[in-house]
């Protein structure tokens, strides 16, 4: 999302000064100089486009909408993760409230409000695009509508971003509960199919063999790693007892070692790259002042 803002700022930092009402002006002789003095990278290329275009506004509202959608999806995760059914995270009391009727319930207010605000951000974008859709060139008073939508979007993000940051910063991750739930529901079944495939079994067959193993374990109400050697052999002779060495959380995660995967070493590499990117983005944000008006 920050990358989009950086790209947007780079491409749209153009001054309309000198375009006048539509066709340009005979008075300003050095629009390049005035643009630089006001903090723009240069003047707009075409006077009619400078007055008529609201691409830069629409694109900013899209970036804000996309940011809102990403925050909304993250909020949905927090609503689920903090629920009694999941119990993966515990939200700080400062970012949640008690239920009006259920004293034992903690409502993820910030996550729910953020999820709702995403609709407002999308609405601002949709409203401007609807306004622009049938306008002729160049300036029309309809374009005054872009101001209220931008200001409302900025105000909305000004509320949502600090609240979400605080909620994430103060929440507690329940690692023990995550570890307990992770292998339940035969989540390691893919490891069986992968183990067979890496030993020359066509994946279609490996998939069917794994499905048979899951059904057999369900019938006996046992986990995959509890299957006996006899039970494995009865399902398929190629299922040797060594497969159980792959049926641990640690082994399953370690196998996801491709670029961008979830193996610990890959995650550490991603964190290093992310920190480098964040440092550059924080430097951009610290120095960005926008055009000086």
Query: Would 249 be classed as within a structural domain?
Result: yes
Mean pLDDT within 158-166: 97
Computed over every residue of the chain, the mean pLDDT equals 93
Phi, psi for residue 263 in degrees, rounded to 5: -60, 145
Shared-domain flag, residues 193 and 158: no
pLDDT in tens, 26-74: 886 788 998 999 889 999 999 999 999 999 999 999 999 999 999 999 9
Domain final position from 181, 205, 234: 181
Q: What is the CATH number of the domain that holds 152?
A: 1.20.200.10
Shared-domain flag, residues 117 and 176: yes
The whole domain housing 217 covers 189-255
Q: What is the percent of the chain with per-residue pLDDT over 90, rounded to a whole number?
A: 82
Shared-domain flag, residues 171 and 142: yes
Query: Would 22 be classed as within a structural domain?
Result: no
- Reply yes or no on whether the pLDDT at 229 is more than 70: yes
Domain final position from 150, 181, 212: 181
pLDDT in tens, 166-213: 999 999 999 999 999 999 989 999 999 999 999 999 999 999 999 999
Q: What is the CATH number of the domain that holds 231?
A: 1.10.40.30
Shared-domain flag, residues 167 and 210: no
Query: Would 40 be classed as within a structural domain?
Result: no
Work out the pLDDT band at 293, boundaries 50, 70, 90: very low
* 8 A C-beta contact, residue 173 and residue 234: no
Strand, coil or helix: what is 28?
coil
Query: Would 104 be classed as within a structural domain?
Result: yes
- The Cα 73–Cα 271 span in angstroms is 21
- Reply yes or no on whether the pLDDT at 288 is more than 90: no
What are the tokens at 26? 């005979």
Query: Would 6 be classed as within a structural domain?
Result: no
Shared-domain flag, residues 171 and 232: no
3-state helix, strand, coil in the chain (%, to 5): 65, 5, 30
- The Cα 143–Cα 146 span in angstroms is 6
- Reply yes or no on whether the pLDDT at 235 is more than 50: yes
- Reply yes or no on whether the pLDDT at 216 is more than 60: yes
Q: How many domains does the chain have?
A: 2
Shared-domain flag, residues 173 and 243: no
Query: Would 283 be classed as within a structural domain?
Result: no
- What's the residue count for the chain? 293
- Reply yes or no on whether the pLDDT at 106 is more than 70: yes
Domain final position from 181, 210, 243: 181
- Reply yes or no on whether the pLDDT at 21 is more than 90: no
Instruction: Give the burial class of 206: count Cβ atoms within 10 A of its Cβ; 0-12 exposed, 13-18 middle, 19 or more buried.
Output: buried
Query: Would 281 be classed as within a structural domain?
Result: no
Q: Alpha-carbon Rg of the chain, whole angstroms?
A: 28
Residue with tokens 């999820």: 115
pLDDT in tens, 85-94: 999 999 999 9
Query: Would 116 be classed as within a structural domain?
Result: yes
- The Cα 173–Cα 86 span in angstroms is 12
Shared-domain flag, residues 175 and 81: yes
* 8 A C-beta contact, residue 20 and residue 47: yes
For the entire predicted model, the pTM comes to 0.88
């Amino acid at each position: 999302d920050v990358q989009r803002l950086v790209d947007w700022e780079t491409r749209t930092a153009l001054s309309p000064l000198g375009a006048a009402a539509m066709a340009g002006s005979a008075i300003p002789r050095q629009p390049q100089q005035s643009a630089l003095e006001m903090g723009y990278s240069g003047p707009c290329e075409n006077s009619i486009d400078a007055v008529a275009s609201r691409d830069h506004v629409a694109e900013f509202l899209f970036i804000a909408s996309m940011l809102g959608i990403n925050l909304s999806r993250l909020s949905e995760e927090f609503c689920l993760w903090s629920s009694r059914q999941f119990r993966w995270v515990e939200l700080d009391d400062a970012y949640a409230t008690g239920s009006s009727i259920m004293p034992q319930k903690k409502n993820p207010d910030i996550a729910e409000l953020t999820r709702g605000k995403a609709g407002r951000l999308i609405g601002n974008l949709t409203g401007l695009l609807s306004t622009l859709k049938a306008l002729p060139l160049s300036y029309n008073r309809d374009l005054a509508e872009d101001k209220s939508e931008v200001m409302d979007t900025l105000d909305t993000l000004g509320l949502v971003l600090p609240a979400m940051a605080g909620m994430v910063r103060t929440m507690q991750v329940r690692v023990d509960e995550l570890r307990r739930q992770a292998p339940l529901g035969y989540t390691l079944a893919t490891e069986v199919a992968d183990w067979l495939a890496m030993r020359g079994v066509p994946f279609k067959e490996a998939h069917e063999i794994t499905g048979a193993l899951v059904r057999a374990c369900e019938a006996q109400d046992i986990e995959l790693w509890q299957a006996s050697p006899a039970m494995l052999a009865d399902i398929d002779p190629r299922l040797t007892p060594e497969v159980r060495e792959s049926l641990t959380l640690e082994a399953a995660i370690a196998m996801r070692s491709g670029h961008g995967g979830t193996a610990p070493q890959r995650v550490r590499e991603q964190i290093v790259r992310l920190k480098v990117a964040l440092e550059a983005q924080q430097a951009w944000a610290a120095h960005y002042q926008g055009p000086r008006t």
